[in-house]
Amino acid sequence: EPEVTQTPSHQVTQMGQEVILRCVPISNHLYFYWYRQILGQKVEFLVSFYNNEISEKSEIFDDQFSVERPDGSNFTLKIRSTKLEDSAMYFCASRDLWGTGELFFGEGSRLTVL
Amino acid sequence: KQEVTQIPAALSVPEGENLVLNCSFTDSAIYNLQWFRQDPGKGLTSLLLIQSSQREQTSGRLNASLDKSSGRSTLYIAASQPGDSATYLCAVRPITRGSTLGRLYFGRGTQLTVWP
């Protein structure tokens, strides 16, 4: 069964360092998303992406964040200068153009900022 | 802004019981509602999606209902098993002017433990 894959599964970084989280969405999907979940809190929307541009972003997604689809398969989230409060599980999701609108999520990348 | 609430926050039951998990949302203008399962430290597995025009969806032992006008959904789990132990999340996709992609708004989840 097709699935969304994310790497790395866990990354530990020092405050102020740049981090890139990678995602391979399901192959025929055209809408891509990043969400995050701080430990013990709700899953929160960060950004949606379609046709090589950001469609919508939340108030969390400030200038420190960026997304890119560098090739036909990868979708990346970059955090330019990490802060302690960026520590969270980051989820990538995708869905197809037609169909039910169901979102499919990856297993997540756990980011720990020290 | 859409707010999603799930009750109860935690539930612990013996194997075999039939369960009802509740989800409520503040704005009834939604495209759909999706139920997810999350195992500890893991990703979100989609269980059921209900379109705004539907009343319920079934998959195996799971049945989800939607009452859009009252802003409620329930997830019914029949004959619960220890393998059902996980956190169950409810998420709604509001109708948003100007955006076709539609972000999801999540509840905090119900942490379910089914003991043998």
Given pLDDT bands bounded at 50, 70 and 90, which one contains residue A11? Answer: very high
> What is the chain B residue with the closest CA to A48?
B101
Three-state SS at A86: helix
Shortest distance between the Cα of B45 and any Cα of chain A, in A, equals 7
Q: Please write the tens of the pLDDT for every residue from B47-82.
A: 999 999 999 999 999 999 999 999 999 999 999 999
Residue B114 reports pLDDT greater than 70: yes
Interface of A with B in 29-68 (CB under 8 A): 31, 33, 35, 41-45, 48, 50, 55-56, 58
- Asked whether A39 and A98 are in contact (CB, 8 A), the reply is no
* Cβ-Cβ contacts under 8 Å, B102 against chain A: 48, 101
What's the helix, strand, coil split of chain A in %, to 5? 5, 50, 45
Closest CA to A2 of A97, A101, A105: A105
A55 and B32 in contact by Cβ < 8 A? no
Residue B15 reports pLDDT greater than 80: yes
- Asked whether A46 and A111 are in contact (CB, 8 A), the reply is no
* Cβ-Cβ contacts under 8 Å, A110 against chain B: 41
Q: Please write the tens of the pLDDT for every residue from A57-104.
A: 999 999 999 999 988 789 999 999 999 999 999 999 999 877 778 899
